[in-house]
Structure 1
Amino acid sequence: MRTNAKALTGVIMLVVFVLLAVIGPWIAPFDPSMRSNALLQPPSSMHWFGTTHLGQDIFSQVLAGTRSVVFVGAVAGVVATVLSVLVGITAGYLSGTASEGLSALSNVFLVIPALPLIIIITSSLPETSNLTIALVIGLTSWAWNARVLRAQTLSLRRRDYVEAARANGESTWRIILFEILPNLYAVIASGFVGTVLFAVISEITLAFIGVSDAGGWNWGTVLYWAQSQQALAQGAWWWFVPAGLAIALLGTSLSLVNFGIDEYVNPRLRTRFSMRGVRMRVGFTPVLAKETS
């Protein structure tokens, strides 16, 4: 991370969002639901992001909504990653009916459109809390990562060190945990980041179309009220631009981290330095840079 500018930038931006998620509701200058007489006011020294048609402070709404977005993204990412690791690695290492059954299960979830399925499930539930939305997203978005992990495991199961462990009488689960899993950490991390990004976009989409609880605040709720009150037609750009920029910046930070992981995993994407006498990495083997005249 220290030598990859894109990954380092993404991590710094992500840490800022996580920090805002933790302390955002405490440092918000106003209650995000509190009404005032400053109706639909542009940004000012008192209201940094302006106010809504009810006089609510938009800056406070964006700060309070950060916690919901980060929470849903993190929980959904953990749930989907755990399922993808369990199903993908097991299906790749085992053979026979168990492997075929897990692979078929992944294919079923893979061909079902994820976002429409999430909307249908969420809208049919009696309660749509942040935890419920995170669990629904996580339980329906693991198939792609499981498919990738299965393919990687199939390529690792016949490696010499795995065969040696098997010949020494090591148990199946010990081989999976200590021989195969450590070689998949970067792929798992990349899948986790991608799932978090998908979960964030999905939660904001649910709030924007009114499926989730409109009483709780997240960036999608801010955009929902801005769209329902025709903020664009009224020229109230400050109502939807801050939330849109927050979504774009969070997506950018996650994408930069994902790009950094991809460059670490794939030697073809890794930046190569040609400084004289400096040790550089090509693939996973350190070599000396070629002398230049």
Structure 2
Amino acid sequence: MSTIDLGQLADPNSPTGDSGAGAGRKGLTRVFPHVTPKLWVGAGMIAAIALFGLVFPFVVQNPQAISDVGLSAPSGDHLLGTTQTGQDVFAQLAYATRGSLLIGVLVGVVAMALAIVFGVIGTYVGGFVDEAFSLFSNVVLVIPGLPLAIIVSSYVPQKGLVVIAFVIVITSWAASARVLRAITLSLRSRDYVAASRVSGEKTWRIVAVEILPNVLPVLASQFLFAVIFAILAEAGLSFLGLGVSGQFTWGSMLYFAQNGLALRLGAWWWFVPPGLMIALLGCALSLMNFAIDEIINPKLRDQTRAGVSRADRKRLARAEAAAGTTEGATA
């Protein structure tokens, strides 16, 4: 039975391939060998959300300003309507975006710093330090994160953004530390690391120059996961009334919408925007994570460089099935 090569589907000169799309993909691959459409789309969405959270809080009115408008649908004066007390939902969304992003980035940075200390530095040093760090990471890893965050948050009197971020980061670093530890164990036995050690290089320089650059893609992937985990955890805490006090986040908007019976009153403009922002950011971070996976995974990277998409593989399967049917009928 005749077969069809994947390269034929991606070849612009092939009669079965898409010449425009193939040429565009190959041109983009030559200029940016590790850039995929997922990375562009994800980065664009994240940039748009970050720009909204950084700029619009200086443009909109005070989100806590109460007016006698009451609960009203979106209009020219209030783009996303108002709450029961007349507060502008669009202004709240702008401030909430900034607050949620701040919590996510803060948790991501601190969690990755702890993961590097326990997963990379401790593993490279080895001996008692590695065993102690590994034991502590395993203990933290089995602790249920959300119940612990609920307990700790319920006993904290003043819950600001930094405090909530600290509560969330308690258990959000251990999984990343385990992943980095496995990679560091492999890198520690490589020839170039052994050569640096024999030549008298200091430990901090070997870790910073020889090991960390090789774990950066995985570290970036774990950072994105920590950010979305922190935002979802904060939303869960705020929905239970244990979130940030005196400041707006996406979770606090959902909490106030629930208390204001927004769903029962049909005030969709009150709870849909924060929920949609959480979904969009999660989608953007997932796309970025998939793109990073394609960069660090040789098999996926080769498929991306060859311009072989899922649609190409489906066309290949249909073409091979049609070729087999034709040969069977001829026989």
Which one of 255, 258, 261 corresponds to residue 286 of structure 2?
255
Letter of the 2:247 partner, please give it: G
The separation in 2 between residues aligned to 1:172 and 1:104, in whole angstroms, is 22
Relative distance call for 1:155 and 1:57 in structure 2 (3 A) is same
1:12 — aligned with what? 44
Which one of 295, 298, 319 corresponds to residue 267 of structure 1?
298
For residue 263 of structure 2, give the secondary structure of its aligned residue in structure 1.
coil
1:31-42 to structure 2, matched below 5 A, reads 31-42=62-73
1:245 — aligned with what? 276
The separation in 2 between residues aligned to 1:214 and 1:93, in whole angstroms, is 41
1:56 — aligned with what? 87
1:135 — aligned with what? 166
1:144 — aligned with what? 175
The separation in 2 between residues aligned to 1:225 and 1:26, in whole angstroms, is 23
The separation in 1 between residues aligned to 2:194 and 2:143, in whole angstroms, is 37
The separation in 2 between residues aligned to 1:269 and 1:212, in whole angstroms, is 40
Q: Is the 8 A contact 1:24 1:67 kept in 2?
A: no
Q: CA deviation at 1:214?
A: 4.5
1:222 — aligned with what? 253
Relative distance call for 1:272 and 1:14 in structure 2 (3 A) is closer
1:90 — aligned with what? 121
Deviating beyond 3 angstroms after TM superposition, the runs of 4 or more aligned structure 1 residues are: 271-275
1:21 — aligned with what? 53
Q: CA deviation at 1:273?
A: 4.1
The answer to which of 165-174 and 53-62 deviates more is: 165-174
2:226 — aligned with what? 195
The separation in 2 between residues aligned to 1:104 and 1:251, in whole angstroms, is 32
Give the % identical residues: 47
For residue 140 of structure 1, give the secondary structure of its aligned residue in structure 2.
coil
Relative distance call for 1:159 and 1:213 in structure 2 (3 A) is closer
Q: CA deviation at 1:213?
A: 3.8
2:136 — aligned with what? 105
The separation in 2 between residues aligned to 1:60 and 1:247, in whole angstroms, is 17
Q: Is the 8 A contact 1:89 1:153 kept in 2?
A: yes
Which one of 145, 148, 155 corresponds to residue 117 of structure 1?
148
Q: Is the 8 A contact 2:141 2:171 kept in 1?
A: no
1:126 — aligned with what? 157
Is 2:194 the counterpart of 1:163?
Answer: yes
The separation in 1 between residues aligned to 2:153 and 2:240, in whole angstroms, is 12
Which one of 53, 65, 71 corresponds to residue 102 of structure 2?
71
Letter of the 2:238 partner, please give it: A
Q: Is the 8 A contact 1:24 1:66 kept in 2?
A: no
Return the TM-score normalized by structure 2.
0.79
1:278 — aligned with what? none
Q: CA deviation at 1:136?
A: 2.3
Q: CA deviation at 1:135?
A: 2.2
Return the TM-score normalized by structure 1.
0.89
The answer to which of 97-106 and 30-39 deviates more is: 30-39
Q: Deviations over 1:16-59 (max 9, x none)?
A: 2222222221111x321122222221111211111111111111
2:18 — aligned with what? none
Letter of the 1:18 partner, please give it: A
Letter of the 1:139 partner, please give it: I
Letter of the 2:207 partner, please give it: I
Q: Deviations over 1:201-233 (max 9, x none)?
A: 111222111112443211111111111121111
Q: CA deviation at 1:83?
A: 0.5
Gaps of 5+ in 2: 1-31, 308-331
The answer to which of 7-16 and 151-160 deviates more is: 7-16
Q: CA deviation at 1:68?
A: 0.6
Structure number with the higher helix fraction is 2
Q: Is the 8 A contact 2:103 2:230 kept in 1?
A: yes
Relative distance call for 1:273 and 1:77 in structure 2 (3 A) is closer
Which one of 230, 255, 264 corresponds to residue 233 of structure 1?
264
The answer to which of 208-217 and 63-72 deviates more is: 208-217
Total equivalences in the alignment: 274
The separation in 2 between residues aligned to 1:206 and 1:168, in whole angstroms, is 51
The separation in 1 between residues aligned to 2:47 and 2:41, in whole angstroms, is 10
